[in-house]
């Protein structure tokens, strides 16, 4: 059995169709096992033994979310092994996530091929790109949140890399990994 995390884009927990219980139901209707949610921002862990390629599973999930709940935001999957390998690489070193400093991981649906050199960086002093983790297909950044104006980092990411991305804090990624079933 293979364990995955579905990182759902555009989830607003105040919308009744986007609450964790409704999201889990969709995954259970698809026949997945060990379905659980992590926080309330569109992180669903599950297991499957159907052996389908990741893009096919992503497509089935997105189709079901659209047809059953009207959610069209996007689905990006990462396997347990991918998440564990990213954590083992300690991409943020000794830095810690805090209210003042967000450690963020932006997952891309596809690999950057070729990876831009030099890697794009936003013209925002509050955002420091740490790099691109090709194996995880993820952009790693540190965002200073102490300023009076929040930078439009998410908008920059979409304009630069497409809308087929989703961002999580490093704390969320580690919580997801802890909840992913061993598989």
* Fold of the domain spanning 2-80: Alpha-Beta Plaits (3.30.70)
| Residue 101, pLDDT score | 92
Could you write out the DSSP letters of every residue in 82-114? Answer: HHHHHHHT-TTTT----SSEEEEEEEESS--SS
Q: Given this model, what pLDDT does residue 14 score? A: 78
Q: How many CB atoms lie within 10 A of CB 111?
A: 11
Q: Which residues pair with 140 in a beta bridge?
A: 105, 131
pTM: 0.94
The domain locations on the chain are 2-80, 82-179
Structure tokens at 153: 């980092």
pLDDT band at residue 40 under the 50/70/90 scheme: confident
Q: What is the CA radius of gyration of the chain?
A: 16
pLDDT single digits (tens) 50-84: 889 999 999 999 999 999 998 888 899 999 999 99
92-127 tens-digit pLDDT: 999 999 999 999 999 999 999 888 989 999 999 999
Across all residues in the chain, what is the average pLDDT?
92
pLDDT of 167 reads: 94
Q: What is the mean pLDDT of residues 17-29?
A: 91
């Amino acid at each position: 059995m293979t364990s995955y995390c579905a990182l759902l884009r555009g989830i607003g927990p105040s919308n009744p169709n986007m609450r964790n219980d409704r999201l889990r139901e969709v995954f259970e209707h698809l026949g997945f096992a060990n379905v659980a949610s992590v926080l309330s921002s569109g992180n669903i862990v599950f297991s499957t033994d159907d052996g389908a390629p990741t893009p096919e599973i992503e497509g089935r999930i997105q189709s079901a979310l659209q047809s059953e709940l009207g959610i069209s935001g996007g689905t990006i999957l990462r396997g347990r092994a991918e998440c564990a390998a990213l954590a083992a690489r300690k991409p943020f070193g000794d830095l810690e996530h805090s209210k003042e400093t967000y450690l963020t991981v932006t997952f891309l649906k596809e690999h950057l091929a070729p990876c831009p050199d030099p890697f794009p960086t936003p013209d925002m002093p509050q955002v420091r790109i740490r790099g691109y983790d090709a194996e995880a297909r993820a952009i790693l950044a540190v965002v200073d949140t102490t300023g009076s104006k929040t930078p439009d980092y998410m908008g920059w990411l979409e304009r630069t890399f497409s809308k087929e991305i989703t961002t999580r804090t490093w704390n969320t990624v580690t919580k997801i990994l802890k909840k992913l079933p061993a598989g």
